[in-house]
C-alpha cells in the first residue's frame, strides 16, 4: 500500500539503535536493495490503543527475510517491543501503520545478484495513516496475473512483487475501477491487487485456497476464524471469475483497511451485504478485546 510519508505525515523510523523523525535516507545507489530489489517488509496497525496481531506480523517479516536469503537480525519479540516504544512518540489520535523492514546492502562475493545475508539491515518505520474500514470499492478482472513460486519470491512479503500489483491497479483505474480482481497462472481467482477477497453465496462464505501464488494474509486468517466461531460456514476453495460474478456479496480483507465491501465487479452492481458487516464487527470486537490495561 503506497502511502505519503512526506512532512505532512508524522513518521518515526528506528534504525541502527536510534529513532529518527521523518523519512531518513537509508539506501544508496550501490545498495543491493536499490539495485537488485532485496527488500522485505510487513505491515501492522495501531488504532484506538490496540495493535491487532502485531506479534504475528513481526514473526512474518522474519520469515520473509529468511525466505529471501537474508538474516532476520532482530527477534520478533524485540520488533514488537520497539513498535510499542515507537507508538508512544505519536499523539494517540490518528491510526498508525507499523512497518518492519529488512534489506541487503551487498551481494554475495563472486555472485553479486544474490544478496549477502551478512549484510542484512533492519529498520522499523511507523507513520500516521487513517483507517478506511468498510469503505465500498469497485473491482475489475485484471489482465495481469500472479506468478507461481517457480517464477518469483512468492513465499516472502517482498517489495519486488509490488510493481506487478501496481500495474494491476493502474490498469484498473484507467478503466474506472478502484482495484483489480487477480488470477493465478491457471486462471483461478486468488486475491485483489492489494488484499484478500471473499464471496458469499447462499449464506456460505468462500475464499480462494492458499496456493503460494498470493499472500494468504494474517487478517484473512483472523476473519476466517472469527466467522467460523460465529457459526458461518467458510470454505477455502478454488474459485473462478464466474463464481464471483454470481456471488450474493463480495468483500475484501487486509491489514490496511481490515474489511471492506465490494460494490461493483465489472458490469455487476453489488450491495454491501450482511456477512461483510458481520465480519468487520467480529474483527473489531475481537481486536478491542486484545487491549491491554
DSSP character at residue 26? -
Residue pLDDT, tens place only, 44-57: 999 999 999 999 99
CA distances from 282 to 63, 76, 111, 200, 285 (A): 28, 27, 50, 16, 5
Which triple of cell numbers denotes residue 174? 484507467
Does the structure show a pLDDT above 90 at 8?
Answer: no
Residue pLDDT, tens place only, 223-239: 999 999 999 999 999 99
Distance CA 138, CA 282 (A): 23
Does the structure show a pLDDT above 90 at 131?
Answer: no
All structural domains of the chain, each given as residue ranges with its CATH number in brackets, are 11-128 (3.30.470.10), 137-289 (3.20.10.10)
Distance CA 33, CA 289 (A): 39
Q: Which of 186, 226, 230 is nearest to 208 (CA)?
A: 186
Per-chain mean pLDDT for the chain: 95
For 47, list phi and psi in degrees, rounded to 5: -160, 150
Intra-chain end-to-end CA distance of the chain, in Å:
31
Residue pLDDT, tens place only, 149-207: 999 999 999 999 999 999 999 999 999 999 999 999 999 999 999 999 999 999 999 99
Distance CA 64, CA 41 (A): 8
Share of the chain above pLDDT 90, in %: 92
Which triple of cell numbers denotes residue 248? 450474493
Distance CA 104, CA 118 (A): 8
Does the structure show a pLDDT above 90 at 133?
Answer: no
Q: Which of 95, 124, 261 is nearest to 192 (CA)?
A: 261
Q: Which of 150, 156, 148 is nearest to 68 (CA)?
A: 156
Does the structure show a pLDDT above 80 at 278?
Answer: yes
Does the structure show a pLDDT above 70 at 1?
Answer: no
Which triple of cell numbers denotes residue 91? 499523539
Confidence of residue 293 (pLDDT cuts 50, 70, 90): low
Amino acid at each position: 500500500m503506497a502511502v505519503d510519508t512526506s512532512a505532512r505525515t508524522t513518521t518515526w523510523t528506528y534504525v541502527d539503535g536510534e529513532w529518527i523523525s521523518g523519512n531518513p535516507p537509508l539506501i544508496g545507489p550501490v545498495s543491493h536493495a536499490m539495485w537488485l530489489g532485496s527488500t522485505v517488509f510487513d505491515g501492522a496497525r495501531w488504532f484506538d490503543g490496540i495493535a491487532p496481531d502485531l506479534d504475528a506480523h513481526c514473526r512474518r517479516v522474519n520469515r520473509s527475510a529468511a525466505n529471501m536469503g537474508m538474516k532476520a537480525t532482530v527477534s520478533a519479540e524485540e520488533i514488537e517491543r520497539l513498535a510499542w516504544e515507537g507508538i508512544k512518540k505519536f499523539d494517540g489520535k490518528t491510526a498508525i501503520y507499523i512497518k518492519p523492514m529488512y534489506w541487503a546492502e551487498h551481494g554475495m562475493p563472486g555472485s553479486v545478484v544474490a544478496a549477502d545475508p551478512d549484510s542484512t539491515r533492519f529498520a522499523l518505520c511507523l507513520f500516521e495513516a487513517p483507517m478506511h474500514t468498510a469503505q465500498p470499492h469497485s473491482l475489475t478482472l485484471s489482465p495481469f496475473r500472479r506468478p507461481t513460486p517457480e517464477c518469483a519470491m512468492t513465499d516472502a512479503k517482498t517489495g519486488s512483487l509490488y510493481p506487478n500489483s501496481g500495474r494491476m491497479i493502474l490498469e484498473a483505474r484507467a478503466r474506472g475501477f478502484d482495484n483489480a480482481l487477480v488470477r493465478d497462472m491457471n486462471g483461478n481467482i486468488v486475491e485483489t491487487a492489494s488484499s484478500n477477497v471473499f464471496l458469499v453465496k447462499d449464506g456460505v462464505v468462500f475464499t480462494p485456497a492458499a496456493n503460494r501464488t498470493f499472500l494468504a494474509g494474517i487478517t484473512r486468517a483472523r476473519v476466517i476464524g472469527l466467522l467460523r466461531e460465529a457459526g458461518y460456514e467458510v470454505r477455502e476453495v478454488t474459485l473462478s471469475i464466474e463464481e464471483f460474478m454470481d456471488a450474493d456479496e463480495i468483500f475484501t480483507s487486509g491489514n490496511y483497511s481490515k474489511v471492506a465491501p465490494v460494490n461493483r465487479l465489472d458490469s455487476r452492481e453489488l450491495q454491501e451485504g450482511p456477512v461483510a458487516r458481520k465480519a468487520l464487527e467480529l474483527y473489531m470486537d475481537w481486536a478491542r478485546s486484545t487491549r491491554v490495561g
